[in-house]
Amino acid sequence: MEKKAAVIICGTASLLGLVAVILGFVGEATKSQSFGGYDGASCVYRSTPAVGCGLAGALFLLVAQVLLSSATACCGCCRPETRKIPQQTKRVFAIAMAVVSWILMFIAVWLFFSGAMWNTARHRKPAEAPSKANSGEGECYVLQGGIFATASALSFVVVAFGIGSYFLLGAASGPPEMPTVQLGGIAMGQPREPYFQPQGGYPTGANW
């Protein structure tokens, strides 16, 4: 049952992470369609599929991270005392990997949301260029390439670190051990029939 649960947890987290990675690359490919041009007063941006890709990618990555963290019982802090604790070295590595995965997860989610917000339909005030300060014209901001691709790469690392932490801290802990009770001073063996010592002397008139 323990191995089956580990397969289900890791398989589900891997699938969620893979979906987040794919959505990130799709958002990277479609984000270039956002900028619509300059209408003389403001910069025009169109909504693209990168909005949905960014929001969905952040959601899938967050669910995968929470699933793995819950499976490892919050880095071992919520684990019952009856469960076997891994070796100290494994525990340190597992906690370090879990902490790094959470930090990278927040960065990836921020990149997903930033890319999604920059691909929504809106009008933005242009940045005033120094050479065009007197003409009233400006420059429009365009989302630089690589934001979604970076989020996809971080999503892969987050899931990999989360699974590694799960195996080091969660799956390696094994099933709970039953306490053993030693009975001192009790001899174990086959029970003996009771023996009764006859009382009194020999009967009168007995010839031996």
Question: What is the tens place of the pLDDT at every residue in 89-103?
Answer: 788 888 888 899 999
pLDDT at 9 over 50: yes
pTM of the entire predicted model: 0.67
Report if residue 181 sits inside a domain: no
Q: Please compute the mean of the pLDDT values over residues 156-180 and round it to a whole number.
A: 72
Tell me if 7 is assigned to some domain.
yes
When divided into structural domains, the chain yields a total of 1
Share of the chain above pLDDT 70, in %: 65
Return d(Cα 100, Cα 130) in angstroms, integer. 42
Residue 186 belongs to a domain: no
Residue 67 to residue 105: CA distance in whole angstroms: 13
Residue 65, in any domain of the structure:
yes
Residue 20 pLDDT exceeds 90: yes
Q: What is the pLDDT of residues 121-163, one digit of tens each?
A: 777 777 665 444 444 456 777 777 788 999 999 999 999 999 9
Q: Which domain holds residue 50?
A: 2-173
Element housing 36 (H / E):
strand 35-38
